[in-house]
Amino acid sequence: LDSTNLLARAKTLKHEKNDSKNALNLLKLRKMKLKEVDKIDTQLLTIQTMVSNIRSKEEEKEVLAALRTGKDALQKLHEENTLEDVLNLMDGIEEQNELEREINVALVQTGENVALSIGEEEELENELLALMGGTDADGITDKDDGKIELPVAPSEKLPEVEDPEPIKKQPAGRVAVAS
């Protein structure tokens, strides 16, 4: 704005009053003020760059502090839980899993010892079929077409039964248990 006014005044002096000397001085003043504005703009840009660099360094400082805190926390955790402790824990877990497998195998084998012979299994299958009213393994069909005859319930009153002698409680004391 000031530069524009100086330029307009210089033109007016040159054209209307034919005063070249004062017009030239106004142009020199305009040029000097423009250089001063450029210099101030450059300084302002330098200051803004410095402020930006300071903010960036402060953020870097915060990041480094956070990294240091994280490293210290990890180091403390590693001191509390060494690699040897972790390996021992994993070995203990594996031992417990192996013990569980052995117990399961023992339980399954116990069930196998009670296994029936082939003849006993066939006999039980025939008995089941007979109960269900089907045919047995030999192809023989149940005579009553699957109907089972149940006993008749008594219609008269049942005889009275005397109460048995009550069981006497033994005094509490030590009891021997076989181990």
Q: Are 13 and 26 in contact (CB under 8 A)?
A: yes
Other Cβ atoms closer than 10 A to 10: 21
> Cα separation of 150 and 54, whole Å?
102
Residues 11-57: tens digit of each pLDDT: 887 777 777 888 888 888 889 999 999 999 999 999 999 999 999 99
Contacts 24+ apart (CB under 8 A), 85-91: none
Q: How does DSSP classify residue 166?
A: P
Considering all CA atoms of the chain, what is the largest pairwise distance in Å, rounded to the nearest integer? 155
> Cα separation of 145 and 132, whole Å?
10
Confidence of residue 179 (pLDDT cuts 50, 70, 90): very low
The first and second tokens of residue 158, run together, are 């049942």
Other Cβ atoms closer than 10 A to 11: 13
Q: What are the DSSP calls for 82-120, one per residue?
A: -HHHHHHHHHHHHHHHHHHHHHHHHHHHHHHHTPPPHHH
> Cα separation of 126 and 137, whole Å?
6
Q: Are 19 and 13 in contact (CB under 8 A)?
A: yes
Residues 52-109: tens digit of each pLDDT: 999 999 999 999 999 999 999 999 988 888 888 889 999 999 999 999 988 888 877 7
